[in-house]
Structure 1
Amino acid sequence: MPDTGTGLALILGASRGLGLGLARELLGRGWHVIATERGGRAEPLHDLAAEAGGRLEIERADINHPDQIEALRGRLAGRSLDLLFVNAGVANDPAETAGEVSTEEFTRILVTNALSPLRAIEALAPLVPAGGVIGAMSSGLGSVANNESGGWEVYRASKAALNTLLRSYAARSRDSGHALLLIAPGWVRTDMGGPDAALDVETSMRGVAGVIEARRGKAGLAYLDHRGQTVPW
């Protein structure tokens, strides 16, 4: 049985939305959490820290700045993470096609959603011992096999790129003993998901946390949704 309900988690990108929701859910399950904010003080995250009885630490790091990730690794040297989870997601207008998006906007989304998460994983993975979980927030929209409806072209491409990069990482890290995880949280009522989404943050992150805990000690890569069901690549 996996060891659930305890451990040290690092969540990159926890100032709001899904990242904040995951931090709150893990705290409720007894975890100690290190959460990052990108820029100025994120009041909801700091409010959560005030309620957490010392079990929530806040660090500052912008995932798009490798020097900041390296500095974070230095500050965490000597600590052992049971969970490293990268929550990064930006989007453009979902109706904007590949033929319409500017090169600059395309680059911004692909760097933030795919390249920077993998760079962060590369930098911070040495802090996770064998049996620990390394995960990233993907999306059901990142499934190439399930793309029958179109839309969200650039965002889809970025999450498909994230999936491919982590799959490549898994292929060359088979001896690490890490449980690698891509999570599709569902359509969630966040700033990105909008008010009409099917799930609230609490329901989605309750499922995500359960999936994370179930993966502890299971080496290899899985692409799962918040219910623990496999998502087609």
Structure 2
Amino acid sequence: MQDSFWHNHYHLEPYYVNGRGYDQYRPAYELGWTAAEKYPGDFASITPLLEAQWGRVSGASLLDWRQVVGAAHAAWERVRSAEPAAALPRPQLLAVVQGLQRLNLQTVKSLQIAAAQTPQGLLQQVLGRHGQDFESASRELTREFTLESTAAGGRSFAGSLLRGWEAIKAAMGPHTDQSLLDASEEAERILLLAYGVALRESLPEAAHSLLQRQAMAVQRSIEALHWLRTCMPGGI
């Protein structure tokens, strides 16, 4: 069960690095979920022990301990907090979804800003298509959760998520295609992290499935931007 969960969620974690497969993190997850059942105490007290074990259990992973300690901690924490959680109350669920809905629209705006400052070409087409996808995701959340009546409940959640995006927006000026691509990818990463935070909540199954599907779409968009940067240097 733990293996399946992390296989489906590892790319939503803040320590994930684009392009790394699950096999690079899996030994750390297993180390963490095993340690949660094997050793008493908090994670900090067993960290030196786990670090000493990493070289022996890392298997095919090419990552060092500093690159996977977050994964081990996350797996340890998930086991330790595995007691059945009460379902998220409806008002809180709507507040979380409202935050994602608004952040999707803010990401659309950031991509529009970037697209307006790059000449017509592949980059502009990709940013425009991503913007349409995020706008569709926002509409889907509004439709599925009837969000028109939940604006007040979502303000604090949305405000906390948008701080990083506002910083990106403020930094966007008449830069190069490369810097606009970087800023656009960063905006999408903030959106993906927001989905990761939401998916850690005790969501109803249908809501979890919908948000996970949208999160996977954001991940694919990020991978497309990453490919555009690495495979078409100077040709954007």
**TM value normalised by structure 2:** 0.32
Q: Which has the higher strand share?
A: 1
Q: Which has the higher helix share?
A: 2
| Larger Rg belongs to | 2
**TM value normalised by structure 1:** 0.32
